[in-house]
Amino acid sequence: MTSRVAARGGKRIADDGQVTAFVVVMVAALILVAGLVIDGGLALAARVRATDEAQAAARAGAQAIDLAVYRQSGTIILDPTAATDAAEQYLTNTGDRGQVAVTGDLITVTVQVTQPTQVLDIVGLHSLTVSGTASATAVRGITAAGQ
C-alpha cells in the first residue's frame, strides 16, 4: 500500500491514519450518546412504571381501614397490618418489590425497579435501578369535586 505524501515547504509529510483515528473516536462517542439516549429513556419509562405501581399499591392499602376504631369514634385510620398486607400483596401480584409504611390514615409505598440496559451494557453498566414513591390517604366518601 502506498502512502500519501504531501509536499509542504520542501518537506514531505505523511498523513496515514489520521482520519481513521478520528472516525474511531467519533463512532465511539456516537455509540455512547445513543446509549445514554436509549437507556436513559428506558430508565425514565421504568421510573414512571414504578410510580404507577406505587400509586396503585398505596390505593389498595388505603382501603384497609380499622373498622373497630371507625365504629367506635367515627375516626378513619388504617389497620397497619391489613394495609401493609394489601399493598404488599398488590406488589407481589405485579412482580415488583418495595417498602410500605403506614401512619394513621396515610400509607406510603416506594417501589424499586431494575431496568436492564440495552446499549450501555457494552461499557459495563448492566442495569439501572429507579424508584417511585406514592402515598394515599384513607377518606370517607367524596371530599371534593374530581375525586
Q: How far apart are CA 53 and CA 93, in angstroms?
A: 11
| CA pair distance 87, 115, nearest whole angstrom | 22
Dump pLDDT digits (tens) for 34-48.
888 888 889 999 999
> Given this model, what pLDDT does residue 25 score?
85
Q: For residues 52 and 86, what is the distance between their CA atoms, to the nearest angstrom?
A: 16
Question: What is the per-residue pLDDT for 60?
Answer: 92
Q: Is pTM, for the whole model, over 0.85?
A: no
- Could you report the per-residue pLDDT of 3-52, keeping only the tens digit for each? 455 555 556 666 666 677 788 888 888 888 888 888 888 999 999 999 99
Q: What is the pLDDT of residue 5?
A: 52
Query: DSSP letter string over 55-98?
Result: HHHHHHHTT-B-HHHHHHH----B-HHHHHHHHHHHHHHHT-EE
Domain boundaries, the chain: 12-137
